[in-house]
Chains A and B, each alone.
Chain A
Amino acid sequence: MDLSWMAWTTPTAIFFAVILCLILSMCVWEWISPGGQPRRGILRFETTRGDRLFVTLLGSAFINLAWLALVGPNLWWALAVCIVFGVLVFVFV
């Protein structure tokens, strides 16, 4: 089977691998110490760990897009913002 049409590149492969690892590690974390009942954070809706990961990823996508549109093409700083955002989401939401 020829898969060359998928046009893989190293960066995109790394990108998907990272997302896969994140999901797997969430499963492992849940397996080792269950997160229990959903809780209510500053956004006034119930979230579990998985919801928080989803909010982090979706938010990160938009942070990166906004950075690209408003600041410039160097996204390493946007990545730093995303990590801070992710930590905040996991602690407060």
Chain B
Amino acid sequence: MMNLLSTRHAARQRSYAWMVLVAYIVFLMLPLYWLLMMSFKTNQEILSTFSLWPQEFTLQNYVTILSDSSWYSGYINSMMYVVMNTLISLAVALPAAYAFSRYRFLGDKHLFFWLLTNRMAPPAVFVLPFFQLYSAFGLIDTHIAVALAHCLFNVPLAVWILEGFMSSVPREIDETAYIDGYSFPRFFTKIFTPLIAPGIGVAAFFCFMFSWVELLIARTLTVTDAKPISAIMTRTVSASGLDWGVLAAAGMLTVIPGALVIYFVRNHIAKGFALGRV
């Protein structure tokens, strides 16, 4: 952009850009900051005085939560179904996205749109039949049930994203590989998959994200053994009444895994976004 306009003009635009950006990020961070600060306050302090940071710093809220053993299991449960869902979604979406990006076939466009319509179905509509369906298969309160149910909206999204990345890989690469005697499975795993690795990263990120944040279906399909962390959080909180400090600490603990995931994949995501003609 720098070489686009005259330097002075560009410099002024840059500074406006920075102001917009900083204002937006401050807006994003404020509620999180407030939650973090509240989690370090005692309940009396929250209710009696208004202060921007804790007057008497306490970790008691976290101790209260972490001494409850159901919390560990909540984390493990959430992680298990999220990872299962991401793996299943990618495994089925990869070949399908390849088909959509390389071939025309009978009903391809309609199939694609039908997949998208499943993302559009409000989860609230499906809550009851889902419960009945997974009961009929004896899958209630298992991780795989939640993972399969989340495929409903993650698989279409994964296909959609991967198709964009695959279309940006020139078709000559496929043809050369076939001429060189590669079979389709070997070509796909050895040559094609590494080429679109950033795309797979982006798709995995979105699958992880939508599965991690969804609550309505996950809560409906689980009873105790596979209960997700966010549902346990609401239960813990309602049990302890209006203890704002504990509520804030519980909220903070569900934010952390997401923050960790973004931190570890940040370069991958930036690269993926840069390479993909999404």
Interface residues of A, Cβ cutoff 8 Å to B: 1-3, 5-6, 27, 30-31, 48, 50-51, 54
Contacts and interface: CB of A to CB of B under 8 A. Distances in A.
B256 interface: no
Interface in B93-136: 106-107, 109-110, 113, 132, 135-136
B249 to A, nearest CB: 41
A23 to B, nearest CB: 9
B110 A1 contact: no
A27 B107 contact: yes
A20 to B, nearest CB: 14
A54 B110 contact: yes
B107 A3 contact: no
B132 A1 contact: no
Nearest to A27: B106
19 contacts: A1-B136, A1-B137, A2-B136, A3-B136, A5-B132, A5-B135, A5-B136, A6-B132, A27-B106, A27-B107, A30-B106, A31-B106, A48-B109, A50-B109, A50-B110, A51-B109, A51-B110, A54-B110, A54-B113
B213 to A, nearest CB: 29
Contacts of B107: 27, 50
Interface residues of B, number: 9
A74 B107 CA distance: 34
A31 B105 CA distance: 11
Nearest to A50: B110
B47 to A, nearest CB: 48
Contacts of B135: 5
A48 B106 CA distance: 11
Contacts of B137: 1
A1 B113 CA distance: 32
Main secondary structure of the interface of A (DSSP, over half): helix
A36 B136 CA distance: 44
Residue among A3, A5, A51 with max Cβ neighbours from chain B (10 Å): A5
Contacts of A51: 109-110
Contacts of B110: 50-51, 54
A3 B106 CA distance: 32
Contacts of A27: 106-107
A8 to B, nearest CB: 13
Closest 3 CB pairs of A and B: A5-B132, A50-B110, A1-B136
Nearest to B135: A5
A3 B133 CA distance: 8
Contacts of A6: 132
Given A3-B136, A27-B107, A51-B110, 4 more contacts: A1-B136, A2-B136, A50-B110, A54-B110
B136 to A, nearest CB: 6
B173 to A, nearest CB: 28
Contacts of B113: 54
Nearest to A5: B132
Contacts of A50: 107, 109-110
Nearest to A3: B136
Contacts of A30: 106
Contacts of A31: 106
A6 B106 CA distance: 31
